[in-house]
Amino acid sequence: MLQKIRWRSLLTGGFFLIIDQFLKWFSLDAWTEKKIGCLGLPPHQNFWCGGWEPFANYGAAFGLPVPNRVIVILTIPALFLIGYLFAKQRPPLNLPLSKGEGIRLFALAILFFGALSNLIDRLAYGYVVDYLRALTGIINLSDILIVLGLLFFLFGKGIPLPTKSGSE
């Protein structure tokens, strides 16, 4: 059971990585209209609706002015730590999965792939490509994966998972 959850988590995270990278490429190279809002308004005039607006994010989260080199240097060991936690995550003494074990694996996988997607951008372009206008900021799918991964990892203990007695 644990191996199934591990593989499903990896496949789901990898799928989101591919989708995010495609949307980033699409926003930079293929999309002809660079700013699209809803209700016929440009994104910057429509606070609640959001929209599509490619943006080169040279800073860290929330626009904090951190040099790209520092972010890359900190991201690489963080990815190794997340990978290590993912590989070592298992029930103690091979007992059946508890309610939170599977959700923690999923959380680590989407956190890893979200951070990896942003790292790929930083290495390829020197910045992260954001494209979804949400309220007053511009984000991407990787940002959503990172936030959800952290939330699920920290607070996702109460979601029940089906278990088979005697199997992993």
Strand locations in the chain (E): 36-37, 51-57, 128-134, 137-139
Q: Of these residues, 20, 29, 121, 143, which one is catalytic?
A: 143
Q: Which residues does 53 contact at the CB level (< 8 Å), separation at least 6?
A: 34, 35, 36, 43, 44, 131, 132, 133, 138
Q: Of these residues, 20, 29, 121, 130, which one is catalytic?
A: 130
Q: Which residues does 45 contact at the CB level (< 8 Å), separation at least 6?
A: 37
In terms of DSSP bridges, do strands 137-139 and 128-134 run parallel, antiparallel, or are they unpaired? antiparallel
Specify whether the CB–CB gap between 127 and 59 falls below 8 A: no
- Partners of 132 in the β-ladder: 52, 139
Query: How far is residue 43's CA from residue 64's CA, in Å, rounded to a whole number?
Result: 22
Quick check: is 143 catalytic? yes
Residue 13 CB: number of other CB atoms within 10 A?
A: 24
Just list the catalytic residues. Answer: 130, 143
